[in-house]
Amino acid sequence: MTDNTQHANQPTYEQLIARIAELEAAKVTRTPGTLGMKIGDKGGICVSGLTARFPVTLYAEQAVRYVGFLTGMTEEEVCKTQLGTIITENRAKLSFKAGIKALNIPAVVVQAAAKATE
């Protein structure tokens, strides 16, 4: 004789199938080789797609300097791009290195760093 109370709290087959369909519909798919960017749990900018498996995480000012290096833009010009928009919109979530004032970053990003540390 089996104990029916043991199975009472388990989902039915139909509920499991519905949950799988729900999760598959919500899954965000990226094609291999495309870049993605998000704010990480520890306040860094995580860029996925640069390496085969793991994301690269940078402080906000490191990302600004790196993009400036790659494109030949000044830090002020970089801060006017999509990266600058991401930094200003997520300033409360971002971590900033202590040396942010050594960079020639516009006041908007410096103010964002100050607000993030408050």
SS (H, E, C) 29-63: CCCCCCCEEEECCCCCEEEECCCCCCCEEECHHHH
The C-alpha atoms of residue 109 and residue 76 are separated, in whole angstroms, by: 10
The pLDDT tens digits for 25-38 are: 777 666 667 888 88
The pLDDT tens digits for 50-74 are: 877 788 898 888 888 888 898 998 8
**Full-model pTM:** 0.55
| Domain range list for the chain | 32-117
